[in-house]
Structure 1
């Protein structure tokens, strides 16, 4: 199990008799059998991607030639710290498959890796020879191996009217049973080869003798340990088949131009023996097959005769499975080499990312040294350091849209954001450079703060996540506009897309996460990234285009923030004044400590020691002709002359205000102010004890001193009488259904004398 910034596993690969480039070719074929997606491949490097599944998140597997050895590395491409052993498992599967393919391809003289000779029983041999006579023709001669103990024979079938070419078929290779990976594949096999009619079976010349020698050598493969053969495999010893040809390997195919049943013989005990025809290939054809698959090679060979001629044309002449590093986009530095230490070390090309991390960490440590809680800082404490809060930000403290991107609500919040920043910064700084990444962090952070103020201005917001989402948005623009090399693009789209979607969905269903800031940062990043992509496409004036894109985004932020400031509720100025005077901090601190406070000149009517939850009291103001009923378990407080009754119960409150106006214009202005403060919510006409009132209800989220928000149902019931120039305003803030029901019952009990 690997742990780290980019969890990975490494393994040195070696195959007997294979050069590093040949090992890469075997790896390409092994990766195809495993269902891995191929990336780029040169003579010194090959890249593959595992499939996306519940077990594997498309790890990147890279093979490199280093000092004459091939080093394989499997690394996670998604944001994770622990790989749960999957990288090591990837390399084991790859190497095991490569060993199996290599053993079936390479003929060696290693006597220790073979099983002892095994011969057919007389019944088995007769069944095989009968099969050969039926489907290949009469046996004209028998050729035996120079190995005195070898039971393998080669049966010669001369040309006939039906088959006007020589056929050589082994008899005895199938006596040895191979260990097959699938039960439906025959574990025994014989080999055959078709030769032109001018071939001379009695000649000892290399061009005539090589088919016999190679049939015996292929027969020896069935005795080698831990290998298996089937259609599509190639065999070779790394040198030409004979001195007068450039062909180097033999492809195993089903017998051509014969009955379909010729490819398989049934022994008396029911076991199957497969017959594979050997077809010589050029080195380029072998490379083509390993890089592109058997079907594509057979398509190229479709116009070639099945008869083995070592002077036929090369169907893949000039082909190379290896290609240069040229591509259709930017190749990012190999993520396999990334470590926490390398990313956190400032250097050319990696300057902005570590510096931004250090700034965020330094500010947090300074906050802790100044008394801010290490794990759970209060809302007031982070407001002092520059957190975003609508009533303060929109009433003069605009700089909070900048500072909030460097303030974090506890060490866990900091660590999560810094890990995400390191991950995206390691990639993005390679694409956009140090200057543009620094500017992008600030600009998208400003836009994320503006989005947060737009959606929930009354919540405290802090953290680098909005700016980080902006950086992810820029990177997505590069991926979507194909500015990254195509083999890396798909893997990174999985990784980045998964991170963005997961975090947005988590933020949508989890309270206390500022998803508006995330969306604002992401959208602004996509827009800025589109500008950067266009700048990179321009060979000239790319710097100017980048600055224009940044300027446009800054202007959009200024316009949006200016409009938000203009539309800010008037009570924000009062909250700002309370903040500057220290009253807001004092109130929040007392609320945190659970203390109830009141003005010294305000009498408090304390509830009785034993409270009946079903008991209601009557409250009357004779000089106004006002009366109502309220639950006895609510604490009663008269705040001032305008607030004739103030009730508290835990986090719920009801305030009843009375106003006397001098003119109808003042009364109308109050009506407009009430409607504006409720942000255009619909107004309902209700009848209370024969008097007409207006009612507005809206759910809201309020910040709490310890950080986060609390869901509150806010209800305003008001009556503005144009005849008496009097107004009554009832404000109810309730957090649950029972308190809301009590507030509704209180409203229904209100009585006003005519």
Structure 2
């Protein structure tokens, strides 16, 4: 059972949304109220409670030890020998919609690409993911609204599921961290595509890149689905160029000037170029990935070294 290790860092690069120039100030500090991210958190917690209720450890425990803690009754966790993350059994996760390659391909259960995003392997897994979602998602939703962040979250999560299915055929995978890495990837592309409106650009970029590298590096440990992380990150990175564009510096104010002084284009040329390229690559990647998945192709046949992206063997563990 491979759980998707969550984004653990709470850093968000500082954005200077109120910019000053010679003689006047431009206010781009428009914010939405964040309600989608809290709803997602509540939904994940509710699903986990339902998962534990259906798991019913006292009735279905198969001799791995005592359910923990006993006073929780049917909500108690599986023995630590079976699930050290304080959660249900693998069978219950599969029953509730965990990602499993053969069921997606041969039993036509493509819906597992979505349902696995809402399941977690244990209480520890759930807490870490939801904490990360609050720290990252609320800020993004306040800046870009629930529609764009909702699309980012869901599409990135599916992208992580697709890449995971193509390369990890023997595991049961659950977790929202593919979607969370999508938000992280979108943060990076948002910084790049809106480069001109940021102060301390290099510091923000370096900090964000270091954070991304550290979190992806954690994925090379065993029992962590790093392909879900990578798939979500790549999807979110591309979507950021499409969904998170900001108008060029001073566009709103200059648009109110006399017509001969107005800035005609709302976005800079490089933003539009990145938009087109990212959208084309995203559509092509999604199409190829889905075709390969539902034709039963093994991604490892086309990339002999890619398995090291999810687990690097060492003297302390085996993959």
TM over 0.5: yes
1:568 Cα deviation from its structure 2 partner: 4.5
Counterparts of residues 279-678 of structure 1 (less than 5 Å): 325-326=25-26, 348-371=32-55, 374=77, 375-395=86-106, 396-483=108-195, 485-487=197-199, 489-490=201-202, 492-508=204-220, 510-534=221-245, 539=266, 553=282, 556-568=285-297
Structure 2: gaps (5+ residues): 1-8, 12-20, 57-75, 78-85, 249-264
1:482–1:458 CA distance, 2 compared to 1 (3 A):
same
Contact kept in structure 2, 1:377 and 1:409, CA below 8 Å: yes
Inter-partner Cα distance in structure 2 for 1:518 and 1:389: 16
Contact 1:478–1:484 at 8 Å: present in 2 too?
no
Q: In the aligned structure 2, how far is the partner of 1:417 from the partner of 1:681? A: 30
Q: Report the Cα offset of residue 350 of structure 1.
A: 1.0
**Aligned with 2:171: secondary structure?**
coil
Q: Can you list the C-alpha shifts for 1:414-466, whole angstroms capped at 9, x where unaligned?
A: 11111111111122123332101111111111111111112212211110000
Helix, strand or coil at the partner of 1:326: strand
Question: TM-score normalized by structure 2?
Answer: 0.64
What is the root-mean-square deviation of aligned Cα atoms in Å?
Answer: 4.0
More strand by share: 1
Report the alpha carbon displacement of residue 471 of structure 1 after superposing the two structures with TM: 0.9
2:16 corresponding residue in structure 1: none
- Measured against aligned partners, the alpha-carbon deviations of 1:647-671 in whole angstroms (never above 9, x if no partner) come to xxxxxxxxxxxxxxxxxxxxxxxxx
- Between the aligned partners of 2:277 and 2:40, the Cα distance in structure 1 is 24
Deviations 1:312-349 (A, max 9, x none): xxxxxxxxx9975438xx5587xxxxxxxxxxxxxx53
- 8 Å CA contact 2:185, 2:233 repeated in 1: yes
Stretches of structure 1 lacking an aligned partner (at least 5 in a row): 1-77, 81-320, 334-347, 570-677, 683-699, 702-708, 712-734, 737-754
More RCO (CA 8 Å, sep 6+): 2
Separation in structure 1 between the aligned mates of residue 129 and residue 121 of structure 2, nearest angstrom:
11
**Contact 2:153–2:183, Cα closer than 8 Å, also in 1:** yes
C-alpha separation in 2, matches of 1:435 and 1:512: 33
Which residue of the partner structure matches residue 10 of structure 2? 79
8 A contact 1:483–1:533 mirrored in 2: no
In the TM superposition, what is the alpha-carbon distance from 1:482 to its structure 2 partner? 3.0
Structure having the higher Rg = 1
- Aligned pairs for 1:167-316 (under 5 A) are none
Residue 672 of structure 1 corresponds to none
Superposed displacement of residue 526, structure 1: 1.1
Residue in structure 2 matched with residue 96 of structure 1 by the alignment: none
TM superposition shift of 1:377: 2.2
Higher helix share: 2
Deviations 1:30-51 (A, max 9, x none): xxxxxxxxxxxxxxxxxxxxxx
How does the TM-score come out when normalised to structure 1? 0.29
Count matched residues: 243
